């Protein structure tokens, strides 16, 4: 005990200096702990409003590949097969917890509850299981019943240098007591006054309480309730020019000094208290029924700066503040000594801005004092606040019910049946967080006021309460509910004989989606207030998994599946913040997938090889963004989206000795758009008539109006390496364990701008005749088409070819990770585990994990090129620099 | 077991204060907030009138500019700014020197969309012209920096706002009732006189009375469908006195309160920034620059 206390004390001292990984009570759980890490930690710094970049991480223990890729590749935000998180399901005690509006599981709801969520089963989309019809991205079932906790107490202390710096968790479990009761609880706290990224902080408490009562031999009732109230400040992506000016790939434009203290404009508040009541009924030895009812009331919000139409954009990295906005630095005809000597004023301004950016840290951050000053001056002059901080709320109330029946008829035949019901009310609104020194603000859309006049109907955000004066805490801008109801029935039959296995599974799912507007928006007065009416979808699908085992340690698997899935509520409305209209072409998404794999063991050498192909058709995707070009909040919806994912996965392990093994894991895949989807554009500040004009694509020959499209054919999916390989070594002896992995990542692409690839934004070219090669001749070269994109028409006005604009592929690179740990058995059943993980040891600060193109094009409406080249200024995220995680667990 | 629950309770209770809100920063005192130089940029050694005289070759052109290499420090009072929304990146500096008998003004272009909090009406301002450019934009005398327009033309535009910290100093506190903020009243004779049509008479804060030619009781000053490449709309102010008449162009940008104001059908006094291209032009600062009906 004394030894343990001494070690903990030493670790606490080190915690203040050191920096991340996970508890490991023994070598055997090391992998699981790390997988747990990727689940609950790396995803927490994602903005739920933006596309979550980490998804579909499986930790299937039966799959050599999937069991490791999750944690191995997590620094690069790896997505298995590049699937979106919405294609992966998470269950707890038999209840589906995925968000019905977004489709995804919110990892924030179980943040800091590692001990409570440790017991889980993860399966790929083509692995038989007992709890779900797993979608193409797989599924995870967490068992968090009180009896699933290890009996006793555990104190875990951690220190790291990531989004939080310190963590403490205490867990206690009574185990199953003689009276049939079991209780367990865990409480944790994660903290960073300032995380590894400047201007970010982390403040999260978590709790998990579980009680279970065994009733007789066959029944058990379990109640769990948990939540993780979290407040965390966010980082944002920046352009390479901005990173260069700040001399860091970890620059964060979200913060600035206020009264000498750092203040972040984008702060997430997240609390999703959840309760699940579960009835386990062991009908007999072979039949089990698990029924759960759950309730969740989630409160998720994120703050952001807002400003009136006349106020200058307060973001420090707004493009007009950048040196490269002065002249086109990408044009060799301008960025050369002769041109600049002829135009010295350009270089003067360029240098002035460089000097401004580099002379003071405060100059490249948000100027809070300036916003306060302007608001106060504005009010002194009789006006109102021009700058403010708003809080965008996405709350939810969810009732759900799940029931699963498993029957093992004998060792050969098994089946499962299940039901999942869910009713979700999503509450979306924004409130005035801070008037930044002001006291008055009128609830009108400032951009619409500029377009239609301050006194116009269009300027009103709520015609039922026109010109409402609001103050801090009041709702404004938009307020609506989204109701989603889902009912799913599924079944699975499993046949398993000595050499053959066959699993057949199917499901049906009904979904309704409805918007209920609580404000009458001036831009859509007739279709914003009240209910939209329900859109209903009946989907379903099935799959077959065939296993062949020619010998004891060899298994071939061939699997195929088809699914028709309802669109997500978040993509279903043209402009959900404003009006009730559903998007066009809203229908079931068709998902076809197939997989062939071979798993083997030859003595000490084991491995798995897989090939997969998936195709998604009729998809609907929506992006919502602040459109710098139009200075408006913009919705852009793509429908009839087709994508394909295919590739190879491999994992090999060679056990050199009982203590030493070498592992090689990798994937090489592709995930891309394979058509030019329909596009629907909507500006929040514009009325229906004006919006209609936006969605026009005129044939350059006939003048006929054609459906607007996004020229996306050939665009790669972003935010994940499509190629990754890891060479690792594991060594463990006498309670010590070491591991080191050298990882290589490649084929990471930037997130593409649909706006820049709209068919009425991208170049349209009409053939001028027949070229010398006998083909149609166009006034643009192939190289230019490949770079800038274009739509080619024949002289009759028919589209003969399309080229999407070039999508940036990031440079590949290596990262070296290692960990060392020691498990110490103490007296009286106590134990101490220490683990130090070192990530990115070579301090590679140039690995881009993701990013996105800016939603503007390079030309004025006059056709003249802008000084600032948006197409050359993508925004990037970089993998963390060298970082460490020290974790100490004391079990008693 | 009771002890265990007590332990859990105390741990949770201890953790709660730790999770107190972190997103809490005191409001700043902005009494001394400025974007201009916090220290003196030097004594005034030049005037707008001198500048116009010395650089007359520039100001007689349509578009021209020249870099100032010396420490020429001028002074003027903000007579027009963007508070009303109709002026863009523009403040009008006016200097009345009774001793010298001059009353001259020039536009100072600053690259920012909301200048009025920093440069309120009646604020006296010193500007060191060194490293800035002077010249004219479409014949309008101006201080700023060159840029390429969205049509690809090289023009004298607004100076970087960052240069205010080195080249601009506020003098005293704003006095909107100062003489420089009082518009000159122009009559039809003055407007018709050819001799007046030169850069020494513009830019200037002026008041002109007349009726809007396009006014029909419904038409607004600047509907978007009529906007030109400069995002503005030109209307005609008819000025009549007795048998004499002339017209003045009223130019309004499309995205501000003036733009959506219905043009009065009766005679009004219009105050704004006067300029001349091929005819007199006035740009109102805001809707308050339209007076009540006048006789």
Contact: B15, A205; criterion CB under 8 Å: yes
Answer whether B30 sits within 8 Å of A369, measured CB to CB. Answer: yes
pLDDT of residue A22: 31
B159 → chain A, closest CA residue: A349
Question: Using the beta-carbon criterion (under 8 Å), do B30 and A452 form an inter-chain contact?
Answer: no
Whether A185 sits inside 8 A of B15 (CB atoms) is no
| Distance of residue A856 Cα from the nearest chain B Cα, in angstroms | 15
Residues of A in contact with B156 (CB under 8 A): none
Distance CA B119, CA B36 (A): 10
Residues 6+ apart with CB under 8 A from A826: A1, A3, A4, A832
CA of A259, closest CA in chain B: separation in Å? 5
Residues A669, A675, A678, A680, Cα dihedral to 10°:
30
Q: Are B28 and A231 inside 8 Å of each other by CB?
A: no
What is the ipTM for the molecules in this complex? 0.94
CB distance A889 to A826 below 8 Å:
no
pLDDT tens, position by position, B122-140: 999 999 999 999 999 999 9
pLDDT the model gives residue A28:
31
In angstroms, the separation between the Cα of residue B15 and the nearest Cα of chain A is 7
Task: Record the pTM.
Answer: 0.92
Query: How many Å apart are CA A851 and CA B29, to the nearest integer?
Result: 38
**Which SS3 state, helix, strand or coil, does residue B202 take?**
coil
Task: Please judge whether A348 and B131 are an interchain contact, meaning their C-beta atoms are less than 8 angstroms apart.
Answer: yes
Determine the Cα–Cα distance for residues A139 and A83; give it in Å rounded to an integer.
13
pLDDT, one tens digit per residue, over A96-120 is 999 999 999 998 889 889 889 989 9
Whether residues B114 and A450 touch (CB distance < 8 A) is answered with: no
pLDDT at B10 over 70: no
Per-residue pLDDT reduced to its tens digit, A334-361? 999 999 999 999 999 999 999 999 999 9
- Give the chain B residue nearest A153 (alpha carbons): B4
pLDDT given at position A566 = 97
- Tens digits of residue pLDDT in B202-217: 999 999 999 999 999 9
A859 inside 8 A of chain B by CB: no
* Beta bridge pairs of residue A608: A599, A651
Residue A264: closest CA among A255, A272, A274: A255
Q: Kindly calculate the radius of gyration of chain A based on its CA atoms and give it in whole angstroms.
A: 28
How sure is the predictor about B20, in pLDDT bands with cuts at 50, 70 and 90? low
Beta carbons of A79 and A54 less than 8 angstroms apart: yes
E-assigned strand segments in A60-174:
89-92, 95-96, 120-123, 139-142, 152-160, 166-173
* Cα Rg of chain B, angstroms: 25
Q: Which portions of chain A are predicted below pLDDT 70?
A: 1-62, 309, 628-629
How far is C-alpha A197 from the chain's CA centre? 19
A642 close to B (CB below 8 A): no
CB contact under 8 A, B25 and A258: yes
A690 touching chain B per CB within 8 A: no
Structure tokens, A586: 């809203």
Chain B residue whose CA is closest to A374: B117
Tens-place pLDDT, residues A581-603: 999 999 999 999 999 999 999 99
Q: What is the mean pLDDT of residues B134-157?
A: 94
**Class of residue B67 by CB neighbours under 10 A (exposed 0-12, middle 13-18, buried 19+):** middle
Encode B144-161: b = buried (16+ Cβ within 10 Å), e = exposed: bbbbbebeeeebbbbbbb
Average pLDDT over residues B223-251: 94
List of E strands, A352-474:
387-408, 413-434, 441-442, 469-470
CB contact under 8 A, A377 and B224: no
For residue A336, give both structure tokens: 């050369």
Task: Select from B92, B95, B96 the least CA-distant residue to B79.
Answer: B92
Question: Is residue A708 within 8 Å of A680, Cβ to Cβ?
Answer: yes
Q: How confident is the model at residue B2 (pLDDT cuts 50, 70, 90)?
A: low
Pairing of strands A848-852, A831-839: unpaired
**pLDDT (0 to 100) of residue B59:** 95
Residues of A with Cβ-Cβ distance to B259 under 8 angstroms: 453
Contacts of A168 in chain B (CB under 8 A): 15
Q: Which residues pair with A417 in a beta bridge?
A: A405, A491
What's the whole-number mean pLDDT along residues B267-278? Answer: 96
What local confidence, expressed as pLDDT, does residue A678 receive? 97
A contacts of B151 (beta carbons < 8 Å): 860, 862, 864
Chain A CA closest to residue B67: A345
* Angle, CA of A780, A784 and A789, to the nearest 5°: 95
């Amino acid at each position: 005990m004394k030894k343990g206390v001494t070690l903990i004390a030493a670790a606490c001292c080190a915690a203040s200096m050191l920096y991340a990984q996970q508890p490991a009570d023994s070598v055997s759980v090391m992998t699981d702990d790390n997988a747990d890490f990727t689940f609950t930690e790396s995803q927490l710094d994602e903005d739920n409003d933006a596309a979550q970049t980490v998804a579909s991480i499986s930790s299937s223990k039966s799959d050599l590949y999937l069991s490791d890729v999750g944690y191995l590749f997590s620094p690069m935000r790896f997505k298995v097969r590049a699937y979106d998180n919405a294609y992966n399901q998470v269950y707890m005690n038999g209840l589906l917890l995925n968000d019905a509006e977004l489709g995804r599981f919110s990892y924030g709801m179980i943040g800091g509850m590692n001990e409570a969520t440790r017991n889980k089963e993860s399966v790929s989309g083509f692995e038989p299981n007992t709890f779900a019809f797993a979608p193409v991205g797989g599924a995870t079932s967490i068992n968090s019943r009180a009896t699933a906790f290890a009996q006793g107490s555990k104190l875990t202390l951690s220190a790291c240098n990531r989004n939080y710096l310190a963590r403490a968790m205490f867990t206690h479990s009574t185990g199953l007591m003689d009276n049939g009761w079991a209780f367990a609880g865990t409480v944790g706290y994660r903290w960073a006054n300032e995380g590894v990224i400047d201007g970010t902080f982390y403040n999260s408490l978590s709790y998990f309480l579980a009680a279970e009562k065994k009733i007789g031999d066959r029944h058990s009732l379990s109640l769990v309730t948990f939540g993780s109230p979290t407040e965390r400040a966010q980082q944002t992506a920046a352009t390479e020019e901005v990173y260069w000016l700040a001399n860091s790939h970890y620059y964060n434009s979200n913060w600035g000094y206020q009264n000498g203290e750092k203040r972040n404009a984008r702060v997430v508040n997240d609390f999703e208290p959840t309760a699940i009541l579960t009835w386990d009924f062991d009908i007999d030895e072979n039949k089990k029924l698990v029924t759960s009812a759950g309730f969740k009331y989630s409160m998720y919000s994120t703050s952001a700066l807002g400003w009136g139409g006349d106020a200058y954009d307060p973001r420090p990295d707004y493009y007009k503040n950048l040196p490269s906005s002065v002249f086109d630095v990408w044009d060799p005809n301008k960025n050369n000594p002769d041109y600049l000597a002829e135009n010295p004023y350009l270089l003067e301004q360029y240098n002035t801005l460089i000097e401004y950016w580099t002379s003071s840290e405060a100059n490249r951050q948000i100027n809070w004092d300036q916003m306060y000053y302007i608001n106060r001056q504005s009010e002194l002059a009789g006006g109102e606040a021009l700058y403010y901080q708003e809080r965008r709320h996405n709350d939810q109330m969810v009732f759900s019910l799940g029931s699963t029946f498993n029957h093992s008829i004998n060792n050969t035949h098994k089946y499962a049946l299940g039901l999942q019901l869910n009713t979700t009310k999503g509450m979306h609104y924004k409130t005035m967080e801070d008037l930044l020194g002001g006291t008055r603000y009128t609830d009108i859309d400032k951009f619409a006021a500029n377009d239609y006049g301050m006194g116009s109907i269009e300027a009103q955000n709520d015609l039922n309460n026109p010109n409402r004066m609001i103050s801090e805490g009041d709702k404004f801008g938009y307020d609506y509910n989204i109701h989603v109801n889902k009912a799913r029935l599924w079944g699975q039959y499993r046949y398993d004989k000595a050499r053959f296995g066959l699993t057949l599974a199917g499901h049906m799912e009904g979904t309704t989606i409805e918007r209920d507007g609580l404000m009458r928006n001036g831009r859509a007065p007739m279709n914003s207030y009240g209910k939209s009416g329900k859109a209903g979808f009946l989907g379903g699908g099935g799959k077959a998994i065939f296993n062949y085992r020619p010998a004891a340690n060899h298994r071939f698997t061939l699997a195929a599946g088809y699914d028709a899935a309802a669109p997500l509520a978040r993509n279903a409305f043209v402009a959900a913040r404003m009006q009730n209209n559903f998007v066009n072409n809203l229908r079931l998404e068709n998902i076809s997938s197939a997989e062939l794999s071979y798993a083997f063991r030859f003595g000490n050498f084991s491995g798995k090889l897989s090939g997969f192909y998936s195709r998604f058709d009729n998809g609907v995707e929506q992006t919502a963004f602040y459109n710098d070009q139009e200075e408006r909040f913009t919705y852009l919806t793509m429908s009839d989206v087709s994508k394909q994912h295919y590739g190879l996965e491999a994992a090999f392990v060679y056990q050199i000795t009982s203590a030493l093994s070498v592992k090689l894991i990798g994937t090489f895949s592709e995930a891309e758009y394979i058509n030019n989807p329909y596009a629907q554009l909507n500006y929040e500040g514009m009325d229906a008539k004006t919006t209609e004009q936006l969605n026009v694509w005129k044939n350059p020959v006939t003048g006929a109006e054609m459906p607007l499209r996004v020229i996306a054919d050939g665009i790669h999916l972003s935010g994940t390496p499509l190629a990754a390989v890891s060479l690792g070594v594991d060594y463990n002896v006498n309670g010590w364990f070491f591991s080191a992995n050298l990882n290589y990542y490649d084929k990471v692409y930037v997130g593409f701008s649909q706006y820049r690839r709209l068919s009425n934004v991208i170049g349209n070219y009409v053939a001028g005749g027949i070229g010398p090669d006998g083909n149609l001749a166009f006034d643009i070269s192939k190289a230019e088409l490949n770079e800038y994109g274009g739509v080619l028409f024949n002289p009759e006005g028919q589209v003969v070819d399309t080229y999407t604009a070039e999508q940036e592929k990031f440079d590949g690179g290596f990262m070296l990770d290692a960990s060392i740990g020691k498990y110490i058995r103490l007296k009286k059943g106590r134990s101490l585990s220490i683990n130090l993980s070192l990530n990115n040891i070579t301090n590679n600060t140039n690995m881009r994990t993701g990013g996105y193109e800016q939603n503007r094009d390079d030309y004025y409406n006059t056709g003249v090129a802008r000084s600032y080249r948006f197409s050359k200024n993508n925004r990037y995220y970089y993998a963390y620099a060298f970082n460490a995680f020290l974790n100490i667990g004391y079990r008693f | 077991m009771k002890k265990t629950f007590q332990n859990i309770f105390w741990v949770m209770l201890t953790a709660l204060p730790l999770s107190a809100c972190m997103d809490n920063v005191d409001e700043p005192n902005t009494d001394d907030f400025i974007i201009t130089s916090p220290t003196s940029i030097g004594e005034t050694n030049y005037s707008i009138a001198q500048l116009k005289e010395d650089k007359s070759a520039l100001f007689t052109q349509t578009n021209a500019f020249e870099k100032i290499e010396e420490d020429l420090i001028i002074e003027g009072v903000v007579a027009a700014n963007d508070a009303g929304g109709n002026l863009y990146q523009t403040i009008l500096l006016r200097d009345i020197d009774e001793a010298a008998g001059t009353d001259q003004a020039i536009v100072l272009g600053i690259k920012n969309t909301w200048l009025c909090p920093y440069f309120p009406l009646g604020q006296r301002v010193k500007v060191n012209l060194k490293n800035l450019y002077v010249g004219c934009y479409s014949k309008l005398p101006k201080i700023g920096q060159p840029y390429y327009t969205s049509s690809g033309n090289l023009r004298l535009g607004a100076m970087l706002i960052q240069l205010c910290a080195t080249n601009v100093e506020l003098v005293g506190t704003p006095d909107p009732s100062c003489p420089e903020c009082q518009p000159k009243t122009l009559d039809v004779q003055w407007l018709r006189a050819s001799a007046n049509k030169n850069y020494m008479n513009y830019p200037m804060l002026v008041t002109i009375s007349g009726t809007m030619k396009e006014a029909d009781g419904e038409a607004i000053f600047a509907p978007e469908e009529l906007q030109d490449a400069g995002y503005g709309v030109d209307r005609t102010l008819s000025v009549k006195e007795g048998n004499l008449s002339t017209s003045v162009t009223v130019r309004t940008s499309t995205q501000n309160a003036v733009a959506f104001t219905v043009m009065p059908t009766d005679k009004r006094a219009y105050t704004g920034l006067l300029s001349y291209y091929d005819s007199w032009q006035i740009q109102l600062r805001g809707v308050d620059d339209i007076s009540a009906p006048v006789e």
